């Protein structure tokens, strides 16, 4: 348990204290980023004449060897080191001797960990973005195939007006597209390099921070060294964006669970994404959708947790901030897992189009259109609303739908009705007459779908 900072201490750290303090069990996740950062740092030190070229080459070779060995499973990251930074440095010194001791020149673990976390989060933002894109592609396919698939649209979970499956799924397309936008914004805002901030006050070495930033694909170095080592805003922003993604996945999951129920039968989830019951042989449960809905709570929890952790921390670095890692890693892994499974589930799901259409027909979803028919014949809307209300009551009494009433029955309530009422309230008319941008009418839907296609090709 030799520590980087043992010099000033006369007693061995108590084992419990050591374990409580150590972060190697989780920060080993970013060994690759830690080594990437060290390589850039060393290149910059040599460029500035702080290290010789020979020392630089030895260190780079050593770091690459460690990376290759860890990747190949030849070198295990063990709890004998306090954190990933100590692990890499100790192994480097073991391998190349004295030059290894110069790696940490002009650097603190505070700016090092700030860098590693940023590199890790940035890589993961890119990976999550690709998962969201794959989901959008799956949704786009469903939309393309279902411009004419009628289904009820709901408000208050009551059948409201007919829409199409393309239109309904298109609503989720918009949500996940905005989610990608949020990830993009965060990535852009966080893309500044903290390396060179030192412990909190910069260093007296003539570091070239612009150069290091460029080597690591940052837009520029950070502008305040105290902020650099204590900024976790981007983690909070990411967890907020991830919470929103989960919220969207959870809403969609909830609908799929409803649609998959015996009462709706709008969809059938593929066997590969369902499970059975140990006691009830007839069951096919939507467990994946339920788990996605359930895991949402845990990602929200991570956001609340880091917000609370950060709120009382004086400048600059404090050990509290080590708490950002486990919950961020867990949230990232949870979201990636949920996105991949959800995409698999929706792209293999069967839609029972006949049931959807029948359901749209049976819930008076065309009542607004019946009222609009009257309005088009000069009846004020409020009166039309009342007339159709009476018709609906009549239908409920007899257990039929509006298009099953005879023309005489229509005329009993209002003489304005003529034979063309049937066409005016047909499902086809109800949907296809809704032609404003954003509505389910097929022509305008096709335009939106074409726009989506272009967006997916370009982003
Ligand atoms: N494990 C620490 C963290 O995750 C690394 C930084 C430690 N710095 C320090 N001064 N103890 O935040």
Ligand 1 contact via 109 beta carbon (within 6 Å): yes
Ligand 1: nearest atom to the Cα of 325: 4
Ligand 1 pocket mutation pick from 17, 30, 79, 83 by most atoms within 8 angstroms of CB: 83
How far apart CA 442 and CA 148 sit, in angstroms, is 7
280 — pLDDT class (breaks 50, 70, 90) = confident
Ligand 1 contact via 321 beta carbon (within 6 Å): yes
Using one digit for the tens of pLDDT, what is the confidence trace for 380-410? Answer: 999 999 999 999 999 999 999 999 999 999 9
Report the mean per-residue pLDDT for the chain.
Answer: 96
Interface ipTM above 0.85: yes
Taking the C-alpha atoms of 6, 42, 226 and 316 in order, what is their torsion angle to the nearest 10 degrees?
-30
Query: Taking the chain, what is the end-to-end CA distance rounded to the nearest angstrom?
Result: 48
Among 277, 278, 385, 426, which one carries the catalytic annotation? 277
Using one digit for the tens of pLDDT, what is the confidence trace for 315-361? Answer: 999 999 999 999 999 999 999 999 999 999 999 999 999 999 999 98
Ligand 1 contact via 295 beta carbon (within 6 Å): no
In CATH terms, 110-142+165-358 corresponds, of 2.130.10.10, 3.30.2020.10, 1.10.3720.10, 1.20.200.10, to 1.20.200.10
Taking the C-alpha atoms of 24, 29, 35 and 40 in order, what is their torsion angle to the nearest 10 degrees?
-120
**The CATH number of the domain covering residues in 6-105:** 1.10.275.10
Question: Whole-structure pTM over 0.90, yes or no?
Answer: yes
Ligand 1 pocket mutation pick from 8, 9, 17, 23 by most atoms within 8 angstroms of CB: 23
Ligand 1 pocket mutation pick from 20, 28, 110, 230 by most atoms within 8 angstroms of CB: 110
**How many residues are listed for the chain in this entry?**
459
Among 41, 156, 248, 414, which one carries the catalytic annotation? 156
CB atoms within 10 A of CB 9: 9
The whole-number pLDDT of residue 1 equals 55
Shortest-distance Cα residue to atom 11 of ligand 1: 319
Q: How far is the CA of 221 from the centre of ligand 1 (A)?
A: 21
Q: What is the DSSP string of 344-391?
A: HHHHHPEE-HHHHHHHHHTTTTTHHHHHHHHHHTT--HHHHHHHHHHH
377 is catalytic: no
- pLDDT above 90: residue 12: no
Domain 362-458 has CATH 1.10.260.40: no
Domain range list for the chain: 6-105, 110-142+165-358, 362-458
Assess contact for 74 and 65: CB atoms under 8 A: no
Ligand 1 contact via 112 beta carbon (within 6 Å): no
277 is catalytic: yes
């Amino acid at each position: 348990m030799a520590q980087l900072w043992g010099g000033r201490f006369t007693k061995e750290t108590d084992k419990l204290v050591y374990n409580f303090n150590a972060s190697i069990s989780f920060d080993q996740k970013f060994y690759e980023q830690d080594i990437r950062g060290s390589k850039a740092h060393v290149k910059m030190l040599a460029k500035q004449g702080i290290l010789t070229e020979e020392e630089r080459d030895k260190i780079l070779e050593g770091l690459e060897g460690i990376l290759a060995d860890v990747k190949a499973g030849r070198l295990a990251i063990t709890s004998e080191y306090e954190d990933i930074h100590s692990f890499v440095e100790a192994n480097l010194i073991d391998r190349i001797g004295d030059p290894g001791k110069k790696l940490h020149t002009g650097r603190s673990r505070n700016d090092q960990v700030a860098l590693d976390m940023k590199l890790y989060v940035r890589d993961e933002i890119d990976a999550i973005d690709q998962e969201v894109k794959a989901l959008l592609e799956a949704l786009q396919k469903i939309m393309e195939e279902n411009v004419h698939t009628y289904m009820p649209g709901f408000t208050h979970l009551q059948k409201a007006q007919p829409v199409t499956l393309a239109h309904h799924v298109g609503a989720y397309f918009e949500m996940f597209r905005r989610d990608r936008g949020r990830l993009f914004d965060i990535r852009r805002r966080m893309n500044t390099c903290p390396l060179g901030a030192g412990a909190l006050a910069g260093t007296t070495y003539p570091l070239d921070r612009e150069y290091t930033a460029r080597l690591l694909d940052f837009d520029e170095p950070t502008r305040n060294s105290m902020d650099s080592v204590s900024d976790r805003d981007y983690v909070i922003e990411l967890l907020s964006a991830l919470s929103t993604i989960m919220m969207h996945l959870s809403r969609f999951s909830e609908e799929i669970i409803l649609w998959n129920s015996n009462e709706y039968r709008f969809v059938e989830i593929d066997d590969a994404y369902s499970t059975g019951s140990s006691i009830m042989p007839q069951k096919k449960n939507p467990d994946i959708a339920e788990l996605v809905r359930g895991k949402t709570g845990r990602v929200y929890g991570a956001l609340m947790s880091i917000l609370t952790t950060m709120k009382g921390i004086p400048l600059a670095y404090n050990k509290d901030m080590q708490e950002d890692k486990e919950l961020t890693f867990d949230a990232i892994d949870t979201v990636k897992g949920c996105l991949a499974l959800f995409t698999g589930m929706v792209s293999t799901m069967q839609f029972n189009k006949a049931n959807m259409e029948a359901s749209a027909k049976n819930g008076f979803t065309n009542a607004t259109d019946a009222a609009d028919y009257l309005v088009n014949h000069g009846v004020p809307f409020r009166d039309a609303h009342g007339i159709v209300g009476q018709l609906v009551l009549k239908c409920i009494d007899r257990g039929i739908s509006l298009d099953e009433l005879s023309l005489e029955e229509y005329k009993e309530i209002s003489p304005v009705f003529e034979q063309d009422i049937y066409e005016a309230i047909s499902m086809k008319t109800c949907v296809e007459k809704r032609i404003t941008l954003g509505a389910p009418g097929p022509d305008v839907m096709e335009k939106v779908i074409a726009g989506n296609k272009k967006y997916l090709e370009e982003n």
